[in-house]
């Protein structure tokens, strides 16, 4: 049963009365959600389709086999949860559970009402300010209405495994899953921003992401060095590495951790973030007037700017093709054959030595939801 928040944050933080999730949503996430919300009857159809999901069973499972956060159980987490809902002005506090699990993880799921689940490993891994950002992340998912679509994705993923022996059925479901996964990754970037708005401590958000990547060895890690890893990942290598990056990320639910950290830092330094902190942000009572075309325009502008400014070798090659650069065939042959000629170097945007790590096996997927 949800409760109405009555407490204020433990320390003074800016509050955002009536804030719309559009204020912090990633452009690609926002355009997809606005489109879905504008489609007449979409939620009804989606929930009808999701009737196969035993949501009552899911809720009973957490109620019976996890610890529900309250004033009597994990009270410090309960205070953080109410603080997060107070800051983002979420009227009903979602129920939150702590589940025994060695994997640091958190999630916001549910069809009728969102529920938040955090694992014991995550609680043990993070300090108070880091955990505050994670809970804000999950409350951001709730405010954005992500829980419904995330639950559907979890269901479809399991269904695809069950139907793997039916080629056509599995292919159709996998196509939907691929589209939802692309949105899911962008929704994580949105929720990271919500976590920053709640915690209002960028260094704590960075520390939390570093711990998800490297464990509880903060004294051995450095934020600047961690962000440099993201820069090396985004800019390094040649076209072959760029293709491998696409192949390693397309089935993931989350962007890579270093990339999340770099994206969040860029947003924290942006004018958009500062305007929100100054009290200038879209309100929920304006959501009905949100324009689908404006959302698409924002997304198109974002991707156009990202493509124009990207230092990724593949994007450099795409820009060359769009610009009508000559001898692209020769440059492509040189690139993918590992040639060291000037054409391959230019297409890759880096020396051939930087491509030597592209064929290493990708690390196992870390699907932490925080």
Rg (CA), the chain: 22
The DSSP code for 88 is T
How big is the chain, counted in residues? Answer: 370
CB 121 within 8 A of CB 64: no
Query: Is 138 annotated in the active site?
Result: yes
> CA nearest 191: which of 253, 250, 248, 247?
253
- The DSSP bridge pattern shows strands 115-119 and 96-99 to be parallel
Element housing 99 (H / E): strand 96-99
Residues 25, 55, 130, 138: which is the catalytic one? 138
Q: Are strands 115-119 and 106-109 parallel, antiparallel or unpaired?
A: antiparallel
CA 341: distance to chain centroid? 39
Q: DSSP alpha helices (H): ranges in the chain?
A: 27-38, 42-49, 55-65, 75-87, 120-125, 128-144, 146-162, 167-199, 202-214, 223-235, 239-249, 257-268, 271-277, 292-309, 313-322, 328-336, 342-348
Bridge partners, residue 19, by sequence: 283
Query: Residue 92 in 3-state DSSP?
Result: strand
How far is CA 199 from each of CA 42, 81, 132, 260, 355, rounded to the nearest angstrom?
Answer: 34, 11, 6, 16, 39
20 φ, ψ (degrees, to nearest 5): -90, 145
Strand partners, 3: 93
Half-sphere exposure of 41 (CA within 13 A, CB side): 3
Q: Give Cα separations from 365 to 86, 103, 248, 357 (angstroms).
A: 34, 12, 9, 18
User: How many CA within 13 A on the CB side of residue 306?
Assistant: 13
Catalytic machinery residues = 138
């Amino acid at each position: 049963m949800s409760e109405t928040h009555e407490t204020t944050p433990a320390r003074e933080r800016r509050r955002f009365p009536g804030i719309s999730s559009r204020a912090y949503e990633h452009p690609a996430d926002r355009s997809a959600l606005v489109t879905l919300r504008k489609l007449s009857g979409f939620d009804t159809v989606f929930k009808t389709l999701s009737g196969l999901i035993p949501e009552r069973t899911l809720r009973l499972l957490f109620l019976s086999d996890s610890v529900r956060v309250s004033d009597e159980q994990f009270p410090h987490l309960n205070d953080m949860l109410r603080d997060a809902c107070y800051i983002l002005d979420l009227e009903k506090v979602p129920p939150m559970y702590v589940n025994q699990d060695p994997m640091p993880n958190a999630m916001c799921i549910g069809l009728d009402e969102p529920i938040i689940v955090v694992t014991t490993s995550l609680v043990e891994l993070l300090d108070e300010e880091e955990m505050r950002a994670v809970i804000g992340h999950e409350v951001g998912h709730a405010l954005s209405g992500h829980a419904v679509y995330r639950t559907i994705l979890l269901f479809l993923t399991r269904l695809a495994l069950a139907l793997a022996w039916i080629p056509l059925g599995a292919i159709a479901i996998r196509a939907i899953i691929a589209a939802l996964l692309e949105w899911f990754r962008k929704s994580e970037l949105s929720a990271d921003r919500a976590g920053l708005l709640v915690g209002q401590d960028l260094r704590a958000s960075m520390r939390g992401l570093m711990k998800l990547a490297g464990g509880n060895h903060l004294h051995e890690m450095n934020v600047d060095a961690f962000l440099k890893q993201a820069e090396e990942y985004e800019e390094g290598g040649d076209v072959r590495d760029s293709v491998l990056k696409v192949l390693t990320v397309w089935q993931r639910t989350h962007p890579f951790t270093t990339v999340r950290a770099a994206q969040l830092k860029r947003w924290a330094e942006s004018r958009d973030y500062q305007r929100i902190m100054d009290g200038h942000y879209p309100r929920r009572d304006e959501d009905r007037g949100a324009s689908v075309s404006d959302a698409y325009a924002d997304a198109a502008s974002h991707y156009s700017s990202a493509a124009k400014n990207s230092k990724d070798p593949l994007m450099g090659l795409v820009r060359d093709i769009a610009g009508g650069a000559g001898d692209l065939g020769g440059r492509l042959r040189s690139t993918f054959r590992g040639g060291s000629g000037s054409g391959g170097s230019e297409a890759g945007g880096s020396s051939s030595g930087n491509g030597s790590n592209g064929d290493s096996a990708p690390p196992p997927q870390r699907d932490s939801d925080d």
